[in-house]
Structure formats: C-alpha cells, structure tokens
Structure 1
Amino acid sequence: MIDAETTRASYRPNYITTLFVGESAPANGDFFYYGKNAMLRHMQRATEAVLGEGGDFLERFKGYGWYLDDLVLTPVDRLTPAERKAKCLAAGGSLRDRIAAYRPLAVVPVLISIKSIVEAAVAGAGSNAKIFCVPFPGMGQQTRFHNEMLKIIPQLPRNGIENVG
C-alpha cells in the first residue's frame, strides 16, 4: 500500500479553497484518502446531502478545491493523552507553514480539541481564512458532525464559488 502522505498528495487540488484539518491519520491505516472508511463515509454523506451526489466522491472533493490535511503527519491515536497533546502542540509550526503554502480561503478543524492549535497556525501563516470547526465523527459525535457540516457546507468556498459567509 502507498504511504498516506503520497496518497494524500495525489488528491491535492491545484488551488485549495477549503482546507480540512484532522488530528492525524489513524495508526490502523484506515486513512481518509484510502477510501472505504468511517471518516470518508461521514464526510460524503454530509456533503452529498447539501451538494448532491455524482461520481467518485474523492475526485469531487478534490474538484471543489477541498483538501484534508492533518495537524500531525504521524499517527497519534495510540499515544498516551499527554504524548498526543505534546505531538499536536509541536506540529503547529509545520501546519502553519503548510497553510502559508496552501493559502486556503477557509479552514475547518475536524476535531474540537485541535481548534486552538489550528487557529494559531492560520494566524501565524498570515492567513485571513475563515475558520469553521466541527467535531470528529466518532465516539458518538457522528450526528453532531453531520449537523454541523450541513450548516457550514453552503458557506465553504469551492472552485467557482468563493464567497465565505
């Protein structure tokens, strides 16, 4: 299997309109861009409820100018809470640099606990991207994720639609 970062890069749009930021790819290899995983299903379900269905979802996601990157580029889900928090905090500078390179119009942390780190990275990048935050669709938060995504999707910039409201 191709490593997560190579696979992720293959789905990077030429121009990123909306940057989704997860905590990290999971240690079990159940990565968003590999397809057929819970995160992908929940993202697809919410997106299609607002924008309709059609074609390969990951290709449409890319076509919108949407991109999912992670705060930490190595899995943190099997670390102790203290180690996990330290890795997330330490990754803020790397995310800041990536945001400066991507220049998104909107940034969506997909986990409440990383919101402040992502906000600091956006500010540190000199970005004026609008920030939306949704809970991760796991551990009983699936309905909350879906409902929050339904609210923000119409506001998210995508190729051809750049009004962030």
Structure 2
Amino acid sequence: MDKEYYLKLRNKYLPEILRIIFILESPPASGKYFYDETGSTTEPLYNEIMKALHYKPIDKKDGLEHFKNQGFFLVDSTYKPINKMKYKERESTILSDFNNLIDDLESINGIESQLILIKANICRLLEEKLKLKGFRVLNEEIVVPFPSSGQQKRFHIEISKILELR
C-alpha cells in the first residue's frame, strides 16, 4: 500500500474545524491502519484513543466520525510502514520524510492547529523541529508512548496531562 492509499482513507475524516492533530510514526506493516473503516475496534491505537475520548463506538466508522467531530485528526510522520525496521533505519526514514510531513501539515492548515506527538521516537525526533517551523506542539517534553506492549496506562496518563494543559 502506498501513501495515496493511506491519504485517501485518512482525508475522508478531515474535520471542518481542526483542533488537534496527533502525529504518529507510520501506518503499521500489519495493515491495521487507524483510518481503515473495515478494521476492528480492538486495534490497539484505535481502541486506546477511543478510551481516551471516553467513547464506545458501535463500529470503527462510528469512532472515526466521533474523532472527526471532536476536531481531531491523525497524521503519520511517514507513510512508509516502518515499525518492522531496525531502530536507526526508522529514525532515518522519519527524518528524511520530515519535509513531506511539513507539506502535509501545511496542506491541511495544521499550522493553525495544536499537535500532540505520540511514540517516544516521534517526540524525541520531531518536537523541536516542528516548533522551529512554527507549529504548536502541546507535549512540552511529555513523552506519550504508543499504547501497546503494556504502555496503555502510561499513554492515558500522558494524554490526559497534555489535554488538561491546553
């Protein structure tokens, strides 16, 4: 699957009034993409974001509509599935696609929105770079882990802190 495939699924849920953009690493190699309506509501990222919003969707499309109606949007730092790559290769891909991320954010008027970075490497690699480009990153050095592998509780704690600060 290529970038256009992911953008087609994603852009269907671009809110009219964009409040917060969540920046993540990439679509997963498993194909369980956040914006894929045909996926399961139990997919880790989707499930934990719905819990953070205190919303119990009927199905995946229902939850995506709710996410959109709240003014939330999710953008990946790269649209190359990199979660199976070695750490250094992931970092290199994220950094080499940084200008594409900026173009993407500017095309959806993201400069006017607030950003929340999710996943330790995204926080470390992109927070300062995005701030230097004029984006409003809400993390303020709070590292939000990806909500899987036992990190779900910490994900909720850190997301709650950030949302309280805004």
Give the TM-score range, shorter chain: 0.7 to 0.9
Task: State the shift of 1:121 in Å.
Answer: 4.2
Deviations 1:121-163 (A, max 9, x none): 4234323x142241110122111002222333344xxxxxxxx
Tell me, in whole angstroms, the C-alpha distance in 1 between the residues paired with 2:164 and 2:69: 16
Q: 1:98 Cα shift?
A: 2.4
- CA 1:31/1:54 → structure 2, altered by over 3 Å: closer, same or farther? closer
1:11 alignment partner, SS class: coil
Matched pairs, number: 152
How much has 1:25 moved relative to structure 2? 0.4
Q: What is the letter of the counterpart of residue 66 of structure 2? A: R
2:101 counterpart of 1:95? yes
| Structure 1 partner of 2:64 | 58
* Structure 1 pair 38–114 and aligned structure 2 pair: CA distance change class (3 A): same
Kept in 2, the 8 Å contact 1:20–1:110? The answer is yes
**Residue of structure 1 aligned with 2:116, choices 74, 99, 108:** 108
* TM-score, length of structure 2 as denominator length: 0.80
RMSD: 2.3
Secondary structure in structure 1 of the residue aligned to 2:35: helix
The answer for the alignment partner of 1:123 in structure 2 is: 131
> Which of 56, 69, 78 is the equivalent residue of 1:72?
78
% identical aligned pairs: 29
CA–CA separation in structure 1 for the residues paired with 2:20 and 2:126: 14
Residue 136 of structure 1 aligns with an amino acid whose one-letter code is: F
Give how far 1:73 is off. 1.0
| 1:84 aligns with one of 63, 86, 90 | 90
Taking the aligned partners of 1:84 and 1:22, their CA distance within structure 2 comes to: 13
Aligned residues of 1:16 and 1:103 also touching (Cα < 8 A)? no
Unaligned runs of 5+ in 2: none
Matched, 1:148 2:154: no
Deviations 1:35-57 (A, max 9, x none): 42111000001111xxx657722
What TM-score does the superposition give when structure 1 sets the normalisation length? 0.80
Runs of 4+ in 1 over 4 A off after TM superposition: 52-55
The alignment partner of 2:53 has SS state of helix
Q: Is the 8 A contact 2:130 2:137 kept in 1?
A: no
Q: CA deviation at 1:109?
A: 0.8
What is the rounded CA distance, in whole Å, between the counterparts of 2:57 and 2:84 in structure 1? 36
Partner of 1:18: 20
